[in-house]
Structure 1
Amino acid sequence: MGQAADGAVFRQRVMKSVQIHAFEMRSPDDTRALEQALEVGAIEGDEIVCILVKTEGNGLANDFTRALAEISLLSLLCRHLHLGRDDVEARISLICSGGTEGVLSPHMTVVCVSYQAGGTDVGSGPRLAFGHAHAQRVVHSGVGIDETAQRRAITAAVNQAMIKAGLYDHSAVHLVLVKAALPAGLEAGAQQQAKPALRAASALGVAVALAELSPEHLHDLSEVPRSAWSSRACVTAASDLACSEIVVFGNSPAWGGELVAGHTILADMLDSPSVARLLKQLGYDASPQLNAVDTAAVKAVVLKGEPPRSDIRGHRHTMWDDSDINALRHYRSAMGALLSGLLGCTRHYLSAGAEHQGPPGGANLCVIMQAPASPTHNAREP
């Protein structure tokens, strides 16, 4: 409660806000930095809603580092929150991805939601909002997954997450992360075969939820052309989930805090101007790189894409033909360098396997930063 100058008592405004913390990882099971932050109170365990992890594994079918990172995080969170594994998994989305080739740094990004009295004034503009939902795991049809059921389940879950976040305008959504659950009982080989269809159906579900595609054109998902895609989806497939998990980030005037998100489409692997334009929209200038103060304002970077099947601007490439290095590892290395050169930092969540996620040969990019006018950013010395 508060008191006005004339003595009248009024109810103090309370708003939700998102905080994001990034910690480097010395190994896939390194949770020491997060544990220390929890112990000293820099992070409240009850406020953690999502953790994104990039490990130094190969990011391919035999990458054990993702499971190792997830097990280590679950162990820490269960101890700290005094909860069982199922309860932790229901409250917190753990999304782990392998592949930190080139300049990329192994790290975790911890997303927290807190309540604050007073909040940010509406006049200061929309701030980062977060929503989380679950979708029932689809069953195996005998010849493959039920792609239509998966698409519909993801569409419904994205809508639910948007409502939880208070994001009622599709244009206010800047990123939808989907951790799609593979059907139970599939052997390892069958899992790998099912992943592309699962990612594709999930991405199309996001596109429908965000009004990027009409469901009337998606009767047979196997016939949907690659030219149909979502501009804000980032989908991974996992075999150890009881249900699919959906996380939505956007900007809303109903949320406080100092963070804002933006997204853009990269037309190809050389499209650094689109990244620079996105930074400009967020209030920053990469000419040719963010200065040290502005680099510190970068809180999360998520890119989803994969190498083009043909040339790059008329020139042949050999990423898909290299028998020594997987094409997706080539891709992460190249795109990590492009982003790091502009942003001046190397902690990026960069994921491949982009069926119906961004244009063919291009990519979806979301950047979350401190608002330029935020007190914390302005307090930094140049």
Structure 2
Amino acid sequence: MTTLREARVTRLSMAAPDDVAPIEAAIAAGTIDPAAIRAVFGKTEGNGCVNDFTRAFAVRALRDMLKGHLAADAVERVALVMSGGTEGALAPHWLVFEALDAATPPGDRADKALAIGVHVTPPMAPEEIGRMAQVEAVAAGVRTAMANAGIVSPDDVHFVQVKCPLVTAERAAYAARRGTPPRTADTLKSMGLSRGASSLGIALALGEVAEGDVSEAAIGADFGLFSRRASASSGVELMSNEIVVLGRSAGWSGPLTIDSAVMADAVDLSGVLGLFARQGLTVGGDRRVVALLAKAEASSTGRLRGFRHTMLDDSDIAATRHARGFVGGVLAGVVGHAEIYVSGGAEHQGPDGGGPVAVIVRRD
């Protein structure tokens, strides 16, 4: 007989990028089992750009802390996904994802519970970032993570988070010396290309785009190709692609579920409100909302609902930072607080200027 699993998600406030004390306290209290941790998401207060070392700082602090509870090889299997940038009033926080043996069977409940699957790809070479090699590696990794979670149908997948690498000046020079230059030596552009390739890999794995439609030329250019459930965040702190699949499966029990929608643009609340209505949630402060995850992007047309925006014209602040703070404010009004996981840079993640949204809910 197959053992049922149960997902547990704990949201904890963060005083600084290295503030792992709340996780330590939860472990000491027995509300987090370190052996059950599969992934940790973090919203850190850096700029979210190439030189945002708050992400690496947070990862280092997490790994050092986990090594006090787990063997070194077990620590390496935990996906540590840091998203830099808490513009506006977005609140820095941790999301700890655990997979436990189910305490009780699902009984006669017909619907499925939250399921978590994790896979880390082998390290990428700098010249593979933003190219078909990354698309294919992520697509294969998503399928593996789905299998690990026991998620049979792509329709049961509601959010796929990928933490992907970027090209630094040093990495670009290393690749060039080997006669294999990267697709771009522009470090900021490499972030977008990496996110785009990862997102198209997710779309391929979930059957949202046809394999023949994806090419290197389409990555970061053809935004008619996108996934409705992809979230990709690039960082300097890794060279692999860390993949976390969140969905629903009959092989999982417990009170948590997940549902998703897509914002057509940065002020589109229709899908989000519909999502809350489906789950019977109250807008503006329902305690059953465990976590809200979303992507944000400045539309490439420079317009929002027909009106000009200046996010793309600002030479001082990256457009991803504007979009993150703006969408964070829109969604905070729905959730009733700003401790929400909003990630900027949504290339091929939802329609141009919009992005996927998922909510993890604790059912009565």
TM-score norm. by structure 1 comes to 0.86
User: Could you tell me whether the CA contact under 8 Å between 2:50 and 2:191 is conserved in 1?
Assistant: no
User: Could you tell me whether the CA contact under 8 Å between 1:52 and 1:96 is conserved in 2?
Assistant: yes
User: Could you tell me whether the CA contact under 8 Å between 2:160 and 2:229 is conserved in 1?
Assistant: yes
Aligned-partner Cα distance in 2 for 1:198–1:26:
30
* Structure 1 equivalent of residue 214 of structure 2: 218
CA-based RMSD of the aligned residues comes to 2.1
Match of 1:342 among 334, 345, 352: 334
The amino acid that maps onto 2:92 is P
C-alpha displacement of 1:211: 0.5
Aligned-partner Cα distance in 2 for 1:315–1:251:
39
The amino acid that maps onto 2:118 is H
Residues 67-95 of structure 1: per-residue CA shift (max 9 Å, x gap): 111111111101122x22x54122x1101
- 3-state secondary structure, aligned to 1:243: coil
- 3-state secondary structure, aligned to 2:132: helix
* Structure 1 equivalent of residue 133 of structure 2: 149
User: Could you tell me whether the CA contact under 8 Å between 1:260 and 1:282 is conserved in 2?
Assistant: no
Residue 304 (str. 1) matches residue 295 (str. 2): yes
Q: Matches of residues 99-114 of structure 1 in structure 2 within 5 Å? A: 99-114=85-100
C-alpha displacement of 1:146: 6.6
Residue 52 (str. 1) matches residue 41 (str. 2): yes
Between Structure 1 and Structure 2, how many residues are aligned? 350
* Structure 2: 5+ residue stretches without partners: 174-184
Aligned-partner Cα distance in 2 for 1:165–1:94:
18
Q: Matches of residues 284-299 of structure 1 in structure 2 within 5 Å? A: 284-286=281-283, 289-290=284-285, 295-299=286-290
Q: Matches of residues 1-382 of structure 1 in structure 2 within 5 Å? A: 14-81=3-70, 83-84=71-72, 86-90=73-77, 92-141=78-127, 145=129, 147-182=131-166, 186-187=171-172, 191-222=187-218, 225-286=222-283, 289-290=284-285, 295-309=286-300, 310-371=302-363, 374=364
User: Could you tell me whether the CA contact under 8 Å between 1:174 and 1:262 is conserved in 2?
Assistant: yes
Change (3 A) 1:66 1:357: same
Residues 308-361 of structure 1: per-residue CA shift (max 9 Å, x gap): 132111111112223343322221221111111111121111111111111001
- 3-state secondary structure, aligned to 1:80: coil
Moved more, 158-167 or 214-223: 214-223
The amino acid that maps onto 1:22 is R
Aligned-partner Cα distance in 1 for 2:311–2:130:
32
Q: Percent identity over the alignment?
A: 36
User: Could you tell me whether the CA contact under 8 Å between 1:139 and 1:183 is conserved in 2?
Assistant: no
The amino acid that maps onto 2:262 is I
* Structure 2 equivalent of residue 8 of structure 1: none
C-alpha displacement of 1:182: 4.4
Change (3 A) 1:34 1:169: same
* Structure 1: 5+ residue stretches without partners: 1-10, 375-382
Change (3 A) 1:60 1:195: closer
User: Could you tell me whether the CA contact under 8 Å between 1:131 and 1:248 is conserved in 2?
Assistant: yes
- 3-state secondary structure, aligned to 1:102: coil
Moved more, 204-213 or 327-336: 327-336
Change (3 A) 1:102 1:77: same
- 3-state secondary structure, aligned to 1:249: strand
Runs (4+) off by over 6 Å: none
- 3-state secondary structure, aligned to 2:102: strand
C-alpha displacement of 1:108: 0.4
Residues 183-228 of structure 1: per-residue CA shift (max 9 Å, x gap): 7961596543432222211111110110001102224444762111
Residues 111-150 of structure 1: per-residue CA shift (max 9 Å, x gap): 1110024322252421100111122333344xx6471121
User: Could you tell me whether the CA contact under 8 Å between 2:164 and 2:239 is conserved in 1?
Assistant: no
- 3-state secondary structure, aligned to 2:87: coil
